[in-house]
Amino acid sequence: MQGKHTEKIVLASASPRRKEILTKAGYNLIIEKSDIDESKFPTNNVEPCKYAEQLALAKAKDVAPNYPDQIVLGADTIVDYDGTIIGKPEDEKEAQEIVSKLFSKPHKVITGIALIRINDNTEIVTNDVTIVYPKKMSLEQIEEHLISGTWKDKAGAYAIQETGDEFVEKLEGSMTNVMGLPLELVKSLLDKLLAKE
């Protein structure tokens, strides 16, 4: 637990995981979910990192006009499987296909980050990448995971904080990135912006 920051940060996301990561780090949050339609951002012919950044920036820009004096944080997490972008599954069938694929070999979890403050023209867009080395899952384990429902609304159809070591052999990079927000990167960016005030 870090010291409390008095400046309010606007989180353009309804993700309970992102909220928890930032709150535990001591940030004072305003939560306002972005209403962008992610289906309007095609995944073909775009690099996974750029795609995540595009969505993060769109989310931040959607909410920022309501808070021109404050830092607005947009984020989007995807999975890069051999250059193919994998987001949240639509249904259990898609979740099964995704999980069967992802837990066969290493894959990347990418979170795009966008920080905007309208009044001083601040716009920072970046990303963080974590390589996940999965454990081989049996058909029974995949079935149990699908029944549990923890795949819903999760990029790559799994949540590391809920399944922990059950699915993962090791990580290269930020653990919180896999949870939906790379705290180390976000903290360094926010601290620089807040220090300028």
Determine contact, residues 79/136, Cβ cutoff 8 Å. Answer: no
Which uninterrupted H or E stretch holds 191?
helix 183-195
Determine contact, residues 70/30, Cβ cutoff 8 Å. Answer: yes
Q: How many CB atoms lie within 10 A of CB 45?
A: 5
**What's the rounded Cα separation, in Å, for the pair 108 and 162?**
18
Which uninterrupted H or E stretch holds 194?
helix 183-195
Selecting among 76, 82, 165, 191, the annotated active-site residue is: 76
Q: Could you confirm whether 80 is annotated as catalytic?
A: no
Distance of CA 100 to the CA centre of its chain: 21
Residues noted as catalytic: 76
